[in-house]
Amino acid sequence: MRMRHNKEIFINGYRHGIPIGLGYFAVAFSLGIAAREYGFSAAQGFLASLVTYASAGQYMGFALYATNATLIELIILTFIINARYILMGFALNQRMPEGTPLRTRLLVSSCITDEIFGITIARPGVPTPFYTFGALIAAVPLWALGTALGISMGNILPARVVSALSVALFGMFIAVIVPPSRKDRAIGIAVLTSFAFSYAFANLPLVSELSEGNRTIILTIAISALFAALMPRTNKDISTDAADSGDGGAK
Amino acid sequence: MKSNIYVYIFVMALATWFMRVAASLVMKKPITNRFFQSFLYYVPYVTLAVMTFPAIIDATQSPLAGAAALIVGITAAWFGAGLFQVASFCCLTVLVLELFLC
């Protein structure tokens, strides 16, 4: 019974991973076009995407390779550009009760990408590796395939189609953040504030020179801290969260 | 000297993975501190919002098409469209608008 339940959760994750994978495919295609310039073969790009599955981080990694950066530089910059994953890891672990085995925590966290994190956190209940791996197994091969195809035939798709596909990923982000914004006004205000500051940071002098990954981490910490101070969760909210996470994620 | 490309890929993957699992290595139970709980409650939505805008406008050939996709996406999600539907609506919006704009 338990195994059957887990299989269903896995299939559920797989289904949710497919639209993510399609979005990845489009984005990976443009990553592949860049990777080709940086001297990666289709097979190397495929491998890199399969094992790394990190969009901005990979783009930077490819560029660093082309500029003969040292491995130390690569490690430090990878840490910085992917620092948001640490926060996402904390948010997922926060949902796991005391006594959750380390391997479960590691397995769930190993699946973190922006989108898989998004659908996992949007799903009620305790995060389970069956769900996250279902999504990962659906999405990552398409990410790798898109990269390889971008490298080998980046110029085959018309610019119009690439342009349209490139918003797929953002569409998924929107689908994750809007329903909770409607449900909880505090999230809605936080989202609008994030839009405003993100726009400002992308355009103001000095801060706009930070990489996109760095702007994301700085703004995430600052805005989340601001809202935690101004609109903290009440005891009632928190006990509702606990009730949510008690159902084992049956939905 | 240029590193071997496979060593390079391996190091990139490992460093990325370490960021993913770092929190799991130090966190044994949910944090009860009110501020930290509230902070983590907002993190996912703030991160995704920051990454969506204004990036969606820069992603398309015409910024106007990207902006329209954002509005269409928000409207569709508000009225209950799912992940795949919202993503499709956004893509279609750009495809159709850029027929006229580009």
Q: What are the pLDDT digits (tens) for A35-84?
A: 988 999 999 999 999 999 997 789 888 988 988 888 998 998 888 778 88
* Buried/exposed code over A171-199 (b: 16+ C-beta within 10 A; e: otherwise): bbbbbbbbbbbeeeebbbebbebbbebbe
pLDDT exceeds 90 at position A247: no
Closest CA to A163 of B20, B60, B14: B60
- Stretch A228-248: mean pLDDT: 66
User: Helices (DSSP H) in chain A: which residue ranges?
Assistant: 2-37, 42-52, 55-66, 71-81, 84-94, 102-110, 114-122, 129-153, 159-165, 168-183, 185-203, 212-230, 235-244
How many structural domains does chain B have?
Answer: 1
Q: What are the pLDDT digits (tens) for B39-52?
A: 988 988 998 899 89
The residue segments making up the domain with residue B77 are 5-101
Instruction: Write down the mean pLDDT value for chain A.
Output: 87
Tell me the ipTM for this assembly. 0.87
Distances (CA, A) of A157 to A149, A161, B89: 11, 7, 20
In percent, how much of chain B has pLDDT > 70? 98
CA distance B68 to chain A (A): 11
Position B31 scores a pLDDT of 87
Q: Name chain B contacts of A202, Cβ cutoff 8 Å.
A: 54
- Interface contact flag, B73 A170, Cβ < 8 Å: yes
In this prediction, the residues of chain B whose per-residue pLDDT falls under 70 are: 1-2
Which residue does chain B place closest to A193, by CA atoms?
A: B46
- Interface contact flag, A167 B94, Cβ < 8 Å: yes
pLDDT class of A243 with cuts at 50, 70, 90: very low
CA distance A121 to chain B (A): 8
Position A139 scores a pLDDT of 96
Q: What are the pLDDT digits (tens) for A120-160?
A: 998 989 999 999 999 999 999 999 999 999 999 877 778 88
* Buried/exposed code over B43-57 (b: 16+ C-beta within 10 A; e: otherwise): bbbbbbbbbbbbbbb
- For B84, the enclosing helix (H) or strand (E) is helix B83-101
Position A239 scores a pLDDT of 58
